Amino acid sequence: MEEQLTNQIQILRDQCNEKKSSLQDHVNSIEILREEVIRFQRTIPTCWDLVAGQNNTCVVVRLSRLQYEDSRPLSHVGISQINMMSEKKAELERRMQTLLQEREALNSGLDDATYKIMSLEHQIREQELQDIYSCRPTMGLFIVVFYNWLPNSGSLEYYNWRANLRQCQREVMELHELNSMLGSQVETLSNKVQSNNHSLLQEMECDDMSHTNESYKV
């Protein structure tokens, strides 16, 4: 039972590590997309870029000059570029939203896995306490009293404590077996002593009877 729970905990930990790696990759992708969005936002031309620091006459002259340089109307070129940048921005925002949703799902799965690990570790500790208490109530009660002072589950101190605990369990079981064996030997010897005493008593009674008969004959 304990080995199965330990294997399940290890599997869940591996899954958590994989999800953490995948989550970190998604976070890096989101950061890259955010930088691209900021860069595209900076490249989108605005009306403020055209009129800032210039009067109406300068704006008209600049627009006329640009119209001569390009056969297409400036407004069409500007609108086309703005639309293209806006579409790219919207696409990046959609991808970012998708990645954020995936990150939320991974966080939820990670929380569930962490909760399962904690539950399994708690079950293992409860099972160990029950085993100890069933072997020796006094020791089990002592462990229960100091339960809050046990090392945190998952730490090196906890695993060392659990190994020492299993060693103590084995020693207790060996002592119980030795005690049972010694008890059986004591009971056997006691029966032999009683049997010998009974035989000796019978012999003494027989001797007394023989002496009595001899004295009657005399």
Q: How many Cβ atoms from other residues are within 10 Å of residue 109's Cβ? A: 15
In the chain, % of residues over pLDDT 70: 44
- Whether 45 has a pLDDT exceeding 60, the answer reads no
pLDDT at 169: 75
Instruction: Please tell me the distance from the alpha carbon of residue 55 to that of residue 57, in angstroms, as a whole number.
Output: 6
| Tokens, residue 115 | 């909760």
Question: pLDDT category, 180, cuts 50, 70, 90?
Answer: confident
Cα separations in angstroms, 182 against 78, 134, 164, 171, 175: 101, 22, 26, 16, 10
Rounded-to-5 percentages of helix, strand, coil across the chain: 90, 0, 10
| Tokens, residue 23 | 């989550």
pLDDT at 47: 46
- Whether 5 has a pLDDT exceeding 70, the answer reads no
Question: pLDDT category, 54, cuts 50, 70, 90?
Answer: very low
DSSP 8-state assignment for residue 149: G
What is the greatest pairwise CA distance in the chain? 168
Region 207-218 average pLDDT: 59
pLDDT in tens, 132-156: 666 555 555 555 545 555 555 556 6
Question: pLDDT category, 42, cuts 50, 70, 90?
Answer: low
Higher-pLDDT residue of 117, 52: 117
Judged on CB neighbours under 10 Å (0-12, 13-18, 19+), 132 is: buried
pLDDT at 93: 76
Instruction: Please tell me the distance from the alpha carbon of residue 125 to that of residue 152, in angstroms, as a whole number.
Output: 11
In the chain, % of residues over pLDDT 90: 0
12-21, 60-69, 162-171: least confidently modelled range: 60-69
Question: pLDDT category, 31, cuts 50, 70, 90?
Answer: confident
What is the end-to-end Cα distance of the chain in Å, rounded? Answer: 84
51-60, 74-83, 159-168, 209-218: least confidently modelled range: 51-60
Identify the H or E element spanning 39.
Answer: helix 2-43
32-36, 61-65, 117-121: least confidently modelled range: 61-65
- State how far Cα 123 lies from the chain centre: 12
pLDDT at 132: 61
Q: How many Cβ atoms from other residues are within 10 Å of residue 9's Cβ? A: 20
Closest CA to 110 of 201, 207, 18: 18
Region 65-71 average pLDDT: 52
